[in-house]
């Protein structure tokens, strides 16, 4: 999929990018990367951080699923890869991410959930931010054991409404009404990549491709590791990250 051609940005999108570059000269945005294996709680943490930090929550997974729902040429190729438990190509993912970041409503910055996943994606992100005159973002790594990850993913339910995308768990966080999203009332489904075979493939690919990113961001002194277990509460993880952001803001 890395050779898939992506379309050029529209003139309106290019104009938005130029406007944001001008704004960011005087008011630096805040970008935060949330990393972790499949099922680590990246989406849950990012959703909680978004209102607390007044930053957009951008999930590359949701961007990809929306593209699939739109039935575009890119979406069709993404769907094929996702069903096998693989990851979308670097060029496609960066294109969709950049298209979202240059929306004017995201001028304050954003929380990046699920990106980057590979060394190449990290380098592409670094170059994009450099072109905008920005530094590397902070990176929060949610560390969860493989056993806990498998337990989480095996019971995960996702809202079928791609504009919503809320997730639940049959044991840890069930919806109020069985099979129905609390937020929008749409049907809850099991994602194809949450099936047993896909889970094993995703964890294997995460270990081989995504985990080395730890070294990349550690070398830049931008990495912070937060441990999470199925017995611990998500509120504790949120509290730790907010305290970290407070400390970093004070240092800046």
Whether 215 is catalytic: no
Instruction: In whole angstroms, give the CA distance from residue 146 to residue 1.
Output: 27
Which pLDDT score is estimated for 39? Answer: 85
Whether 99 is catalytic: no
Whether 202 is catalytic: yes
pTM of the predicted protein model = 0.80
Q: Which of 65, 91, 117, 152 is catalytic?
A: 117
Whether 191 is catalytic: yes
Q: What integer best gives the mean pLDDT of the chain?
A: 88
Instruction: In whole angstroms, give the CA distance from residue 36 to residue 92.
Output: 21
Percentage of the chain exceeding pLDDT 70? 98
Q: Is the pLDDT of residue 179 over 90?
A: yes
Which pLDDT score is estimated for 182? Answer: 96
Q: Is 96 exposed, middle or buried (0-12, 13-18, 19+ CB in 10 A)?
A: buried
List own/partner pairs for 208-215 with CB under 8 A and 24 or more apart: 209/87, 209/117, 209/118, 209/119, 210/35, 210/37, 210/117, 210/118, 212/119, 213/35, 213/116, 213/117, 213/118, 213/119, 213/122, 214/35, 214/141
Whether 117 is catalytic: yes
Collapsed DSSP state (helix, strand, coil) of residue 226: strand
DSSP alpha helices (H): ranges in the chain?
11-26, 42-53, 60-69, 73-83, 90-101, 119-131, 146-154, 196-205, 213-219, 234-251
Q: Which of 65, 91, 152, 156 is catalytic?
A: 156
Q: Is 10 exposed, middle or buried (0-12, 13-18, 19+ CB in 10 A)?
A: exposed
Which domains, and CATH codes, for the chain?
35-155+190-241 (3.40.50.300)
- Give per-residue pLDDT as tens, 195-236: 878 888 888 888 887 777 888 898 888 999 998 887 777 788
Which pLDDT score is estimated for 112? Answer: 97
Instruction: In whole angstroms, give the CA distance from residue 46 to residue 149.
Output: 18
Q: Which of 77, 191, 218, 222 is catalytic?
A: 191
Q: Is 23 exposed, middle or buried (0-12, 13-18, 19+ CB in 10 A)?
A: middle
Task: Report the pLDDT averaged over residues 33-61.
Answer: 91
- Give per-residue pLDDT as tens, 12-38: 999 999 999 999 999 999 999 999 888
Which pLDDT score is estimated for 31? Answer: 95
Q: Which of 42, 65, 91, 152 is catalytic?
A: 42
Q: Is the pLDDT of residue 3 over 80?
A: no
Which pLDDT score is estimated for 176? Answer: 95
Q: How far is CA 90 from CA 23, 96, 97, 151, 154, in A?
A: 28, 10, 11, 29, 27
């Amino acid at each position: 999929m890395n050779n898939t051609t992506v379309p050029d940005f529209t003139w309106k999108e290019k104009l938005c990018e130029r406007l944001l570059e001008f704004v960011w000269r005087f008011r630096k945005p805040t970008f935060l990367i949330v990393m972790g294996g499949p099922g680590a709680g990246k989406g849950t943490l990012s959703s909680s951080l978004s209102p607390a930090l007044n930053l957009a929550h951008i999930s590359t997974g949701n961007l990809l699923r929306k593209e699939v729902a739109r039935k575009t040429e890119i979406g069709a190729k993404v769907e094929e890869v996702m069903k096998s438990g693989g990851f979308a190509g670097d060029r496609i993912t960066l294109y969709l991410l950049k298209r979202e970041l240059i929306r004017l409503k995201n001028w304050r910055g954003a929380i990046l959930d699920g990106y980057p996943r590979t060394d190449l994606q990290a380098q592409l992100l670094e170059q994009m931010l450099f072109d905008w005159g920005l530094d590397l973002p902070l990176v929060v790594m949610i560390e969860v054991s493989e056993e806990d990850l498998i337990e989480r993913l095996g019971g995960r339910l996702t809202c079928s409404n791609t504009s919503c995308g809320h997730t639940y768990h049959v044991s840890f966080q069930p919806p109020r009404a069985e099979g129905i999203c609390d937020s929008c009332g749409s049907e809850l489904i099991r994602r194809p990549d949450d099936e047993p075979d896909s889970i094993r493939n995703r964890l294997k690919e995460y270990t081989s491709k995504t985990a080395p990113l730890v070294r990349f961001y550690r070398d830049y002194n931008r990495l912070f590791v937060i441990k999470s277990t199925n017995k611990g509460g998500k509120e504790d993880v949120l509290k730790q990250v907010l305290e970290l952001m407070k400390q970093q803001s004070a240092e800046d």
